[in-house]
Structure 1
Amino acid sequence: MQTNYINSLTPMRGIAAIWVMFFHMDVIIFYREFGTLIPHETSGILAKGYLWVDFFFLLSGFIISHVYGETLTHHFGKWKIIKTYLWARFCRIYPLHFFTLLLLIPFALVFPVISAAVVDGSWKTFMAWSALPSHLLLLNSMNQHVYLSWNLVSWSIGAEWWTYFAACFIIPFVFNKSWFKNGILAVVAVIILSFMVYWKGNLDITFDYGWVRCVAEFSLGTVLYQMYMNGLWKSWLSKSILFLFAFAFIVLIFHFSWNDLFILPIFCLLLLTTAYNNGAIKIMLETSIFKYLGDISYSIYMMHGVWFMVFWYCLPYLRSNYGIETLTLGMKVIFVTMFMSLTLLSAHFTYHFIEIKSRKILKKRIKSKQRNLETTV
């Protein structure tokens, strides 16, 4: 298993998580009919923010290849190796996912008692008890229910989990050093994603077939990693100007709301330029603030889903109690400041006390069981 992490990629997770958070803040006030953070007819800079989840999926394929690629390839089909790999991934994603559900369950029980007036039609889907088992079993991206529910962003965690299983076959296939096979896999992935955009109209495919979206983009990430390992186009992709170009192009795609498929090659370019860069961009991304945002990015992503529910059901108070029909600029600033502050503060604590501690406890227990088994045998 690789231990030499590509440090500059971690902060990119933080940037992606923050952008997704802004997307969901805009979703709240738009669908609650309080306006928008930025007018959608003027710019799609926030309305297209869901696409950063696609960057997560590409990055996941790249990083899993980097960390586990050689191991899964050389020990293909060996259950002991696969079990260790899957347990490590489970310890990484499930404790925080489970914790956010534990936070929302009492919210679902208490809030209707406190304020029955704001429990509207969305409550039946967002807080659907029938959907809870699919969340607990990480089946929430497999069309089990025709709506998003509970922690709305956790569909992607379910998609990631089952993609980790698929990776046991995808990665050995990609690591066979055959560019022809890798090219075929990339083409198939793009065709699948193109069909999904044609079918849905965009890549915002979540509770229904989000796992397909994840597997396809994860596969592209594994192919990108092979390009990285072979140093393909490194001499010019390592230039900081290419990173800036890719990031600026992403902003343009979002702003003009171009077809979602345009984002895929640019995200690929951004990922490679970040991984290759050893200059100004690397120095910037590895500053303490960017690094820490990357470290707590999973907590930012998951906890902002919890705060989404809180603000979604609290905002109607402004209309029912104070007759406010739209948010002024000052109100929007307060809303964004509160949402971000609560998310980042809670993410700081969940990172240290849920993510890190639970991983240590779970990994310690499995090692203890393995030692006991070896002693018994």
Structure 2
Amino acid sequence: MNNNPFGTKPHYQLLDGLRGVAAMIVVCFHLTEPLASSHLDNIVNHGYLAVDFFFLLSGFVIGYAYDDRWGQLTIGGFLRRRFERLQPLVVLGMTLGALGFYFTDSTIWPLIHTVPVWKLIVVWLIGCTLVPIPLSMDIRGWQEMHPLNSVGWSLFFEYIANILYGLGLRKLSTKALTCFVVLTGAVLLHFAVTNLNGDVTGGWTLNGEHMRVGLTRTLFPFFAGLLLSRVARPVYINHAFVWCSGLVMAVLLMPRLGGADHLWVNGLYEAFCIILVFPLIVYIGASGVVHNQREAKICQFLGNLSYPLYMTHYVLVYFYVAWVSNHKGITLWQVWPYALLTFSGAIVLAYASLKWYDEPVRAWLRTKLK
């Protein structure tokens, strides 16, 4: 934790750094995904759990930042602050996705060359609001609620969690919130071990099944993070950033468990990570301190980069996936230079988006939406 000189609450620098670590693993997951023969053998097999980690981090940070400020804060004021923080990069990600849409030439997206410009503009405008589009408006063919920027689905559920918190769940007593978290945790556990895929993936399609998955993946971690912010009493833990980064990487890089014959084993592992390991990581991260200026700069850089990286990297991944799909049978050893180039480009794009767009737009919104 680091004291803020402006009189606001101390800032959890280590948690910012961990968000950046997880965001980078998400990029690696998406780069290795097209090389896998199925969901059972991706090299970065559990990279998608970073989304669940983000939800828990979000609940913790929002509870810490806002729980004791509702005497001076209105619901509208809270939602405006979340809009200022989240929406600019939503718009940028959708815009970049729309600009690149017609240039991702691949047989895996046969629809993209038949989509009229007017329809692309409509999908882009809807995407900028994060309102999910129905399957009838899918212009890519992946059955996504946001086909111009795949990751938009998780921001949709992030907004739902924020709205639920602002409208009333923030008023739950600690005891009532504990009951709610236990209930949603039980739902998550049941889903993870009984799901036919043997994992918790899903949430990106506008239908009943995926909406259920999205809510299941959102409600427990977000409100578990909120509960943790209320009950945790951080104690000093030495080298917390190193320990937490190692745990995050170990969880997300873990190979698939159980194989095709025992899918429930992998589901149990993922539930264990979301319900127990992720809260432990956040607790340790909240208990740690930066030891020197170098570590502080690393955490600050990773934290600042994390959200822009998450919201813009898939624009480049679309081109990468198209290239891989046009070179059937390509191996990891053959593709790694292109993967490294895409990864590096994603970092550069995220940093440019942060400095030239996100920070200036958020500053402008703060003056306009007072």
Common fold by TM > 0.5: yes
Aligned residue for 2:357? 354
Given candidates 305, 310, 320, the residue that maps to 1:311 is: 320
Tell me how far apart the structure 2 counterparts of residues 245 and 4 of structure 1 sit (CA, whole Å): 20
Q: Deviations over 1:253-288 (max 9, x none)?
A: 823533310112011101101101237xx6599342
Tell me how far apart the structure 1 counterparts of residues 357 and 112 of structure 2 sit (CA, whole Å): 28
CA gap of 1:181–1:96, structure 2 versus 1, over 3 A, is: same
Tell me how far apart the structure 2 counterparts of residues 172 and 285 of structure 1 sit (CA, whole Å): 40
Shift of 1:170: 2.2
What CA RMSD, in Å, does the superposition of the two structures yield over aligned residues? 3.4
Aligned residue for 1:16? 22
Aligned length: 333
Tell me how far apart the structure 2 counterparts of residues 333 and 250 of structure 1 sit (CA, whole Å): 20
Answering whether residue 212 of structure 2 is matched by residue 206 of structure 1, we say no
Tell me how far apart the structure 2 counterparts of residues 251 and 337 of structure 1 sit (CA, whole Å): 21
CA contact (8 A) 2:241 2:285 kept: no
Higher mean Cα deviation, 137-146 or 338-347? 137-146
Given candidates 60, 68, 71, the residue that maps to 1:70 is: 68
CA gap of 1:143–1:166, structure 2 versus 1, over 3 A, is: farther
Answering whether residue 51 of structure 2 is matched by residue 53 of structure 1, we say yes
Q: How does 1:1-377 map to 2 (within 5 A)?
A: 3-30=9-36, 41=41, 46-72=44-70, 74=71, 81-108=74-101, 110-111=102-103, 115=105, 118=107, 120-121=109-110, 123=112, 129=120, 132=124, 134-140=126-132, 147-148=143-144, 149-168=147-166, 169-173=168-172, 176=173, 178=174, 180-197=175-192, 198-199=194-195, 201-207=198-204, 208-209=210-211, 210-228=214-232, 230-231=233-234, 234=235, 238-240=237-239, 244=243, 247-248=246-247, 251=250, 254-257=254-257, 258-259=266-267, 260-264=270-274, 265-278=276-289, 286-317=295-326, 319=327, 325-327=329-331, 329=333, 331-367=334-370
Identity among equivalent pairs (%): 20
Q: Which amino acid aligns with 1:363?
A: R
CA gap of 1:163–1:185, structure 2 versus 1, over 3 A, is: same
CA gap of 1:143–1:82, structure 2 versus 1, over 3 A, is: farther
CA gap of 1:225–1:252, structure 2 versus 1, over 3 A, is: closer
Q: Which amino acid aligns with 1:48?
A: H
Structure 2 residue runs of 5 or longer lacking an equivalent are 1-6, 205-209, 258-265
Tell me how far apart the structure 2 counterparts of residues 63 and 84 of structure 1 sit (CA, whole Å): 17
CA gap of 1:327–1:118, structure 2 versus 1, over 3 A, is: same
Q: Which amino acid aligns with 2:229?
A: Y
Shift of 1:225: 0.8
Q: Which amino acid aligns with 1:305?
A: Y
Secondary structure in 1 aligned to 2:148? coil
Higher mean Cα deviation, 289-298 or 13-22? 289-298
Tell me how far apart the structure 2 counterparts of residues 346 and 63 of structure 1 sit (CA, whole Å): 26
CA contact (8 A) 1:45 1:255 kept: yes
CA contact (8 A) 1:100 1:303 kept: yes
Q: Deviations over 1:191-215 (max 9, x none)?
A: 2212432345322122122244223
Tell me how far apart the structure 1 counterparts of residues 256 and 44 of structure 2 sit (CA, whole Å): 11
Q: Deviations over 1:283-338 (max 9, x none)?
A: 59934234202211111111111111121223344x3xxxx631351x33202211
Q: Which amino acid aligns with 1:261?
A: A
Higher helix share: 1
Aligned residue for 1:373? none
CA gap of 1:104–1:126, structure 2 versus 1, over 3 A, is: farther
Structure 1 residue runs of 5 or longer lacking an equivalent are 368-377
Q: Which amino acid aligns with 1:26?
A: T
Secondary structure in 2 aligned to 1:71? coil
Higher mean Cα deviation, 97-106 or 207-216? 207-216
Q: Which amino acid aligns with 2:317?
A: F
CA contact (8 A) 2:32 2:44 kept: yes
Tell me how far apart the structure 1 counterparts of residues 60 and 133 of structure 2 sit (CA, whole Å): 21
CA contact (8 A) 1:11 1:286 kept: no
Aligned residue for 2:207? none
Secondary structure in 1 aligned to 2:13? coil
Aligned residue for 1:372? none
Shift of 1:118: 4.0
Tell me how far apart the structure 1 counterparts of residues 156 and 28 of structure 2 sit (CA, whole Å): 22
Tell me how far apart the structure 2 counterparts of residues 64 and 298 of structure 1 sit (CA, whole Å): 15
Tell me how far apart the structure 2 counterparts of residues 220 and 126 of structure 1 sit (CA, whole Å): 42
CA contact (8 A) 1:101 1:151 kept: yes
- TM-score of the superposed pair, with normalisation by structure 1: 0.77
CA gap of 1:141–1:291, structure 2 versus 1, over 3 A, is: farther
